[in-house]
Structure 1
Amino acid sequence: MRYSYRMLSGILFLGSVIGMSFALYLEHVQGLNPCPLCVFQRMGLIALGFFSLLAFLHNPHAQVLKRIYTALGSIGILWSLGVAARHVWLQSLPPDQVPSCGPGLDYLIDALPLKSVLQQVLSGSGECAVIDWTFLGQSLPVWSLLFFAGLTLLSLWQLFRPYR
């Protein structure tokens, strides 16, 4: 079966909408406050959705534009994948090795330069190691990692496949 560039861009956009909808459901309906790593994962998912929507709506004929849209979306979802992997790693640490909880993300953004905020958040904190939601015995970061891996594979296939 042959998948068009536009259809795959639409699927990637739909995947990002589903992922963000689930995250917002957990936050606003289930009452789970996202930790800083969760917020950073959302940023990459939103980037994938944004560039996939642009690609879907524009549906460029030039191969270079197809690659640019897909590369930018791929960078976003690779970011999410990497942050989710870090999150899973933090949750797997023994309790005595978990970093202590630091100030909230809002405070960090207000008080520090962006580079310092990124360093602090990506180093993780105790709040990111807390497992407060599971499904089939796996935490939310594990499921996020699997979801992002699927979107990453689809995005990279879209990026590197030959176009006619």
Structure 2
Amino acid sequence: MLPSVRQTNFLIVFACSLLLAIALYMEHVMGLVPCPLCMTQRVFVALVGLLALVAFVHHPRRLGRRVYASLGLLAAVIGGGFSTRQLWLQSLPPDRVPACGPDLYYMLDVFPFLDTLRVMITGDGNCAEVSWTFLGVSIPGWTLLAFVALAALNVWQFVRR
């Protein structure tokens, strides 16, 4: 039997919470410093989860469910775009990688917000570094797969009766 609309929204919330918990574990326990694109991807994972949480609590009818699913799909696609950008940066030859900038937390403290936002959207040399892999796939590769799954769940929420 297929999960209900509310169960599927809860599954999305759970998956996003798990992804964010893994990211925090990697940062605070494993000592991996997130790059600007990693932080941007976290924002979009959180946004997909927040939209699903609101949909879970609101439990709207068909039109509302489609609105939430459309917004969740949009957030997942945009987040997947940032994952793809980071994978592209990681595939560049060393002489083509952009220059590394300061730590994101430093930029948030010192730089104007729009300059920090530009780096969070485009990335820098720090985003090209592959510091961890699992089964030969880097963190943005796994994040892209997660965004694809989240997008698929939102498409399903949109088309189901």
Structure 1 distance, partners of 2:3, 2:71, is 20
Paired position in structure 2 for 1:105:
104
Paired position in structure 2 for 1:92:
91
Structure 2 distance, partners of 1:14, 1:34, is 22
Paired position in structure 1 for 2:56:
56
Q: How many correspondences in the alignment? A: 160
Q: TM-score, normalised by structure 2?
A: 0.90
Structure 1 distance, partners of 2:92, 2:105, is 26
- Tell whether the 8 Å contact from 2:72 to 2:151 is kept in structure 1 after alignment: no
Give a deviation string over 1:17-59, Cα, whole Å, max 9, x none. 1111111111111111111100000000001111111111221
Q: The residue matched to 1:30 in structure 2 has which SS? A: coil
- Tell whether the 8 Å contact from 1:43 to 1:76 is kept in structure 2 after alignment: no
Letter in 1 for 2:154: S
The answer to whether 1:20 aligns with 2:34 is no
The answer to whether 1:144 aligns with 2:146 is no
Paired position in structure 2 for 1:73:
72
Q: The residue matched to 1:132 in structure 2 has which SS? A: coil
* Structure-to-structure mapping, 1:32-51, within 5 angstroms: 32-51=32-51
Q: TM-score, normalised by structure 1?
A: 0.88
Paired position in structure 2 for 1:130:
129
Q: Which has the higher contact order (CA 8 A, sep 6+)?
A: 2
Q: CA deviation at 1:130?
A: 0.7
Structure 2 distance, partners of 1:47, 1:33, is 22
Structure 2 distance, partners of 1:132, 1:37, is 14
Give a deviation string over 1:56-90, Cα, whole Å, max 9, x none. 12212x22211222222222222211110101010
- Tell whether the 8 Å contact from 1:13 to 1:50 is kept in structure 2 after alignment: yes
Q: Gaps spanning 5+ residues in structure 2: where? A: none
Letter in 2 for 1:96: D
Q: Tell me how large the CA RMSD over aligned residues is.
A: 1.7
Q: Gaps spanning 5+ residues in structure 1: where? A: none
Give a deviation string over 1:103-146, Cα, whole Å, max 9, x none. 333344453243x4333333221111111101112211111111
The answer to whether 1:5 aligns with 2:5 is yes
Letter in 1 for 2:73: S
